[in-house]
Amino acid sequence: MTSSSDAPATPNAAAAAAPTIYVCITCKRAGDPDTEPRPGAILAAATAQAAAGTAVSVRPLRCLANCTRGPSAAMRCNGSWAYVFGGLDATCAAALVEGAQLLAGAADGILPWRGRPEPLKRGLIARVPPIDFAGVFEGADE
């Protein structure tokens, strides 16, 4: 029997705590024709496949407002900073999953530079602090 302290506060609490990758399925590269499937949808499918059997959740969505620098994806997990990446393609799927796992294991909620897959170094667009962030973070992302 599970005690109440072991159970998630809400049915979605466990899912919210898991590392999650959001992949824009409507992304294409600048100048690409509007053909289907979009490169973003291909990236989303490849990322879901790469995440199979892991604790990483992959959620497709339409537009991360990084359209001119897509294909785009973002990641975060409970209490972490959120990261947005661009210039991705389907070959970056495993890197996204690896990065999400690194982020989930980071005690400070910051995606470590050391060990970060290369596509997540060169493709970083932005990082956003967690909702409860208070103070001044003075670290650079490298």
Binding site for ligand FES (CB under 6 A): 24, 26-27, 40, 63-67, 70, 72
- 2 CB burial (10 A radius; 0-12, 13-18, 19+): exposed
Which C-beta is closer to ligand FES: that of 64 or that of 100? 64
CB of 67 to ligand FES, least distance (A): 3
Nearer to ligand FES, 6 or 34 (CB): 34
Strand order in the sheet with 82-85: 57-61, 20-24, 73-76, 82-85, 124-128
Q: Give the phi and the psi of residue 120 in degrees, each rounded to 5.
A: -90, -10
Task: Between 46 and 104, name the residue whose CB sits nearer to ligand FES.
Answer: 46
Nearest to 113 by CA among 101, 125, 99: 99
Minimum distance, C-beta of residue 119 to ligand FES, in the bound complex (Å): 16
